[in-house]
Amino acid sequence: MKTVLTKATPGNDITPLESANRALAREAVAEGIVLLANDGALPVAPCPLALFGAGAASTIKGGTGSGEVNERYSVSIEQGLVNAGFSITTDKWLRDYETLLEKKQEEFRKALARKMLTTSADDRINFMAEGFQYPYGRKIAEDDIKASEGACACIYVVARQAGESSDRNLDKFEYHLSQDEIDNLKTAASAFEKTILVINSGAPVDLSPIDEIGGINAVVFFCQQGMEGGNGFADIVTGAVSPSGCLGATWPLKYEDIPCAMEYSYLKGHTEFEEYKESIYVGYRYYDSFGVKPRYEFGYGLSYANFAIGYSDVKLDKTVVTTTVSITNTSSVHSGKKTVQLYVSAPGGKLRREAKGLAAFGKTDVLAPGESQNIDLVFDFREIAGYDESSSSYILEKGDYIISIGESSSKVLSAAVVTLDETVMTEVCSNICPIDRKLDEIVPVPNDTATQPSPMPSISLKMNASDIVTKEHNYDQPKTEADPKTDAVLKKLSLSDMLKVVNGTGIFDSKQFFRVPGAAAHTTSHLLKHGVPDVALCDGPAGLRLQRTSVRYKNGKLKPVDTALRLHDSIPGLVKKSMYGNVEKGTPLYQYASAFPVGTALAQTWNAGLIERIGKAISAEMVEYGVTFWLAPGMNIQRNPLCGRNFEYYSEDPLLTGKVAAAITRGIQSNAGCYATIKHYAANNQETNRNKSNSIMSERTLREIYLKGFRIAVEEGGAKSVMTSYNKINSVYTPNSYDLCTKALRCEWGFDGVVMTDWFSTGETLANNGLAIKAGNDLIMPGGRGYIKMLKKDMKDGRCTIDDLRLCTARVLKSALESRIVKEM
Residues in contact with ligand BGC by CB under 6 A are 66, 125, 164, 520, 539, 631, 679, 758-759
Cβ closest to ligand BGC, residue 336 vs residue 540: 540
Rounded to the nearest 10 degrees, the angle between the axes of helix 608-625 and helix 16-32 is 150
Residues 45, 566 contacting (CB under 8 angstroms): no
CB of 638 to ligand BGC, least distance (A): 16
CB atoms closer than 10 angstroms to residue 444:
20
3-state secondary structure of 61: coil
Cβ closest to ligand BGC, residue 214 vs residue 573: 573
Cβ closest to ligand BGC, residue 539 vs residue 624: 539
Cβ closest to ligand BGC, residue 631 vs residue 712: 631
Helix (H) / strand (E) containing 794: helix 785-796
CB of 636 to ligand BGC, least distance (A): 10
State the chain's maximal CA–CA distance in angstroms: 79
Tell me the residue length of the chain.
Answer: 825
CB of 33 to ligand BGC, least distance (A): 26
Going by C-beta distance under 8 Å and a sequence separation of 6 or more, which residues neighbour residue 768?
733, 736, 762, 794, 799
Cβ closest to ligand BGC, residue 621 vs residue 758: 758
CB of 558 to ligand BGC, least distance (A): 20
CB of 546 to ligand BGC, least distance (A): 12
CB of 184 to ligand BGC, least distance (A): 35
Cβ closest to ligand BGC, residue 712 vs residue 756: 756
SS3 content of the chain, % helix, strand, coil (to 5): 35, 20, 45
* Integer Cα distance of 364 and 379 in angstroms: 18
DSSP, residue by residue, 252-301: ESSGGGSTTGGGSGGGGS--SEEE-TTTT--THHHHHHHTPPEEE-TT--
Residues 655, 712 contacting (CB under 8 angstroms): yes
Cβ closest to ligand BGC, residue 191 vs residue 520: 520
3-state secondary structure of 314: strand
CB of 759 to ligand BGC, least distance (A): 4
Q: What are phi and psi of 664, to 5 degrees?
A: -70, -35
Residues 668, 618 contacting (CB under 8 angstroms): yes
Cβ closest to ligand BGC, residue 296 vs residue 681: 681
Q: Strand pairing partners for 9? A: 590
Residues 148, 90 contacting (CB under 8 angstroms): yes
Cβ closest to ligand BGC, residue 68 vs residue 288: 68
CB of 128 to ligand BGC, least distance (A): 8
Q: Are strands 320-329 and 307-317 parallel, antiparallel or unpaired?
A: antiparallel
CB of 507 to ligand BGC, least distance (A): 8
CB of 31 to ligand BGC, least distance (A): 25
Q: Which amino acid, one-letter code, is at 162?
A: A
* Integer Cα distance of 729 and 436 in angstroms: 10
Check the CA dihedral 17-680-111-124 and report its sign.
negative
CB of 679 to ligand BGC, least distance (A): 6
Cβ closest to ligand BGC, residue 486 vs residue 619: 619
Q: Is 150 exposed, middle or buried (0-12, 13-18, 19+ CB in 10 A)?
A: exposed
Residues 139, 97 contacting (CB under 8 angstroms): no
* Integer Cα distance of 503 and 522 in angstroms: 9
Cβ closest to ligand BGC, residue 229 vs residue 518: 518
* Integer Cα distance of 34 and 646 in angstroms: 17
Check the CA dihedral 705-710-713-716 and report its sign.
negative
CB of 690 to ligand BGC, least distance (A): 8
Cβ closest to ligand BGC, residue 61 vs residue 690: 690
CB of 677 to ligand BGC, least distance (A): 8
* Integer Cα distance of 546 and 631 in angstroms: 12
> Assign residue 662 a region: left if phi > 0, alpha if psi is -120 to 50, beta otherwise?
alpha
CB atoms closer than 10 angstroms to residue 556:
8
Cβ closest to ligand BGC, residue 490 vs residue 520: 520
